[in-house]
Amino acid sequence: MLNYLNRTILKSDTKILYYDFQKNILITGGAGFFGSHVVRLFVNKYPEYRIINLDKLTYAGNLNNLSDVADKPNYVFVKEDICNLDRLLELFDEYNIDGVIHLAAESHVDRSITDTFTFAQTNVMGTLSLLQAAKENWAGNFEGKLFYHVFTDEVYGALEFDDTLFTEETKYDPHSPYSAS
């Protein structure tokens, strides 16, 4: 499979198939439990979009979660760390990324207590690397570009048992390195 701008070229023994894509969406953490559902939804619902699944494949990632879409012409998997800014810049350029759905994160609360640095590295610096790659690649032309960052509700702390709900105005009150990062 070759990629050229918004076109994927699949070679087989008998013919060459060309796929033009309207959008190129990068989904990070797409081999995890939540991310694999998002990737599958986008691959199946938007065949006119190329979905680039970027995942480091740590303890939380498993490509078997995506075996049903692995051979779809609008699906690409890239094994990479979101902290690798140089590679992210290459990917933004290679695939002409229009949008990012950032789901990748270290998210195991107990592990965040024993390995705080890894959580801060991935969750803070990895997010910063993605934002920087988008900023540099999009070069001020943000029309038609989207960047979604999905994170935990744990940043708000714990709710009382009095029917109170979190809102956009709720102040952050993290209780672990995971929710703080």
The residue from 19, 46, 154, 156 that is catalytic is 154
What is residue 116's predicted lDDT score, i.e. its pLDDT? 66
pLDDT at 119: 65
> What does the pLDDT read at residue 156?
62
- pTM of this prediction exceeds 0.95: no
> What pLDDT, on the 0 to 100 scale, is given for residue 71?
94
Q: Which three-class secondary structure state does DSSP give residue 11?
A: strand
Active-site pick, 49, 75, 95, 178 = 178
154 noted as active-site residue? yes
Catalytic residue among 148, 153, 172, 173: 153
**178 included as an active-site residue:** yes
Are the CB atoms for 147 and 99 separated by under 8 Å? yes
Question: Please, what are the averages of pLDDT over each run of 10 residues along the chain (181 residues)?
Answer: 49 52 93 92 96 89 93 95 95 94 67 63 82 94 89 65 77 58 47
Q: In whole angstroms, what is the distance from residue 51 CA to residue 1 CA?
A: 15
Half-sphere exposure of 50 (CA within 13 A, CB side): 27
Distance CA 19, CA 2 (A): 11
Secondary structure (3-state) at 143: coil
Category of 26 on φ-ψ map: left (φ > 0), alpha (ψ -120 to 50) or beta: beta
pLDDT at 162: 79
Distance separating alpha carbons of residues 98 and 92, to the nearest angstrom:
9
Neighbours of 36 (CB within 10 A): 25
Question: Residue written as tokens 């190329």?
Answer: 50
The pLDDT value recorded for residue 126 is 86
Asked: is 2-180 a CATH 3.40.50.720 domain? The reply is yes
- The whole-number pLDDT of residue 105 equals 62
Is 95 labeled as catalytic in the residue annotation? no
